[in-house]
Structure 1
Amino acid sequence: MPEYYSVEQVAELLGLHVRTVRGYVRDGRLRATRIGKQYRIARPDFEAFTGVEPGGPESGAPAAPAVPGPLHVEASTVVQIDGIGTREAVRLSNTLVALVSGPRGNAVPVRVESLHNEERATLKLIILGDPADTAELLAVVHSLTTENRHV
């Protein structure tokens, strides 16, 4: 494996147009050294850009196992409730907002947005957050909308 690559070689290796690679160099995304009128990309810079580690598949040695970053899981839920009046919509929305504004142990914040259309008597609830917290809020919505058909 060469120690330095030309822009043309990098373009060929990555299946990109030469102009694209030059743009990466100009933008600073791909580190290169100017030698005369041409850019040269050092092997470690090429490997850093492509995510290939020294000792990777090209060298014949096994690559170091990737260490995954912290896992982030978030649910996005939209609930539509038809046939709901303004008073009931405000009550339900305020209940959900009060539930998420209190202290919680989870690091993922929960957001609740509500949109009530008086003319159509519909309420849309948008819940964003941890799946477990979202499930708890959905259980509250279910409970409040089924205990009294006019909620």
Structure 2
Amino acid sequence: MTGNPRLYNVEEVAELLGLHVKTVRGYVRDGRLKATRIGKRYRIAADDLAAFTGRPVGATARESARRVRRAEATAIVQVDAASPDLVHRLSVVLGAAVTASARDGERLHTESVYDEERAALKIIVLGGPRPVAEALRLLSAMIEDLRGNRHDR
């Protein structure tokens, strides 16, 4: 054991994982969850439980959520009178923004839907607040520039 030396009984593991006690015992008997038998009871080491769940153990999911605070933003941008050329240019800019956010260790995801018949483009941008704000600034600047120069025809 290298990390947390705490030992859990089957009932504690069941409560931590939101499972029935019989399910946890089945995992132990099947060998999926490593445990040591002490007397008539199983004991599960925190490290073995962490290996089983793929996440650190020692707190409930609610307590863990309080310690790991994340903020996400979602924006939907509707662009009317969008030509195929504009759609292509905006997709290149968004691709660069996604690549830049990945290099910075932040998540940014974009989806675009273009209805050529109606010349309508809908862009969904989601991720951390900073990369979403940066992507929106890029989109806004590009749309304003193209509107002023009429390059999107």
Using the size of structure 1 for normalisation, the TM-score is: 0.53
Q: Which amino acid aligns with 1:135?
A: A
Q: What's the CA shift string for 1:79-104, capped at 9, x where partnerless?
A: 23233222222222223324444598
3-state SS in 2 of match to 1:120: coil
Q: 1:84 to 1:31 in 2, by over 3 A?
A: same
Partner of 1:143: 141
Count of residue pairs brought into register by the alignment: 127
Give unmatched runs, 5+ long, in structure 1. Answer: 54-65
Mapped partners of 1:4, 1:144: distance in 2: 57
Contact 1:75 1:128 in 2 (8 A): yes
3-state SS in 2 of match to 1:141: helix
Q: What's the CA shift string for 1:35-75, capped at 9, x where partnerless?
A: 7xxx6213xx277759559xxxxxxxxxxxx8x97766554
Give unmatched runs, 5+ long, in structure 2. Answer: 1-6, 51-56
Partner of 1:19: 22
Partner of 2:87: 89
Q: 1:30 to 1:82 in 2, by over 3 A?
A: farther
Contact 1:110 1:127 in 2 (8 A): yes
Compute the displacement of 1:111 (Å).
Answer: 4.1
Mapped partners of 1:103, 1:20: distance in 2: 41
Q: 1:32 to 1:81 in 2, by over 3 A?
A: farther
Partner of 2:54: none
Partner of 1:107: 105
Partner of 1:63: none
Mapped partners of 1:73, 1:40: distance in 2: 42
- Tell me which moved more, 137-146 or 103-112: 103-112
> Which is richer in helix?
2
Partner of 1:116: 114
Q: Which amino acid aligns with 1:94?
A: V
Q: 1:114 to 1:27 in 2, by over 3 A?
A: farther
Partner of 1:41: 42
Partner of 1:134: 132
Compute the displacement of 1:138 (Å).
Answer: 0.4
Mapped partners of 2:69, 2:99: distance in 1: 24
Q: 1:78 to 1:23 in 2, by over 3 A?
A: farther
